[in-house]
């Protein structure tokens, strides 16, 4: 049985990281806490709770990774220090805007091909000019056109 005021419990939901933490603080089961929250219409967003928990657990580590990267420490040493692989480190660096995402080198070429195709250049001619197969050029042009069409509908 929960022997706290509704106001105190609402404050705990705001203060603590998730419903389980509130239940633990009050010494009741998470299910009891859930039932109480539903009965008293206490607002709770599991997405925000997950974000709070993630921030609490990983904020310090992520800050250290970003500082190491900005200090010029090689990626291999950062990976070894934090016992993480390179894609995970890159994800963190890009997420916190410490590093710009890599743009594939062929993107510029593909956009050139697409623009030339729009101007009427044949698939065969484009394939010969860029030393690609006609099927590859045709598929690539189709995918770019499809992506642009979908983006314009949004």
Verify that 113 and 145 share a domain, yes or no.
yes
Tally of domains in the chain: 3
* Within-domain flag for 1: no
Range of the domain at 65: 57-95
* Within-domain flag for 154: no
Query: What is d(CA 2, CA 27) in angstroms, rounded to the nearest whole number?
Result: 9
* pLDDT value for 122: 95
- Mean pLDDT for 99-123 is 89
Query: What is d(CA 144, CA 28) in angstroms, rounded to the nearest whole number?
Result: 55
Percent of the chain with pLDDT over 70: 99
* Within-domain flag for 32: yes
* Within-domain flag for 100: no
Comparing 5-14, 83-92, 117-126, the range with the smallest average pLDDT is: 5-14
* Within-domain flag for 36: yes
| Beta carbons of 126 and 137 less than 8 angstroms apart | yes
Query: Which two three-digit tokens encode residue 112?
Result: 């050139």
* pLDDT exceeds cutoff 80 at 1: no
Contacts of 10 (CB under 8 A, 6+ apart): 42
| Beta carbons of 135 and 126 less than 8 angstroms apart | no
């Amino acid at each position: 049985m929960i022997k706290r005021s509704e106001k105190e419990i609402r404050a705990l939901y705001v203060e603590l990281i998730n419903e389980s933490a509130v239940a633990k603080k009050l010494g009741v089961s998470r299910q009891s806490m859930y039932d109480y929250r539903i009965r008293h219409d206490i607002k709770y967003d599991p997405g925000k709770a997950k974000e709070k928990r993630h921030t609490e657990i990983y904020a310090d580590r992520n800050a250290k990774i970003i500082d190491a990267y900005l200090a010029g420490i090689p990626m291999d040493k950062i990976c070894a220090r934090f016992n993480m692989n390179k894609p995970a480190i890159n994800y963190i660096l890009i997420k916190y805007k410490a590093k710009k995402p890599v743009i594939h080198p062929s993107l510029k070429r593909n956009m050139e091909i697409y623009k030339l195709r729009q101007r009427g250049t044949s698939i065969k001619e484009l394939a010969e000019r860029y030393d690609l197969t006609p099927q590859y050029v045709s598929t690539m042009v189709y995918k770019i056109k499809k992506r642009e069409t979908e983006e314009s509908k949004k």
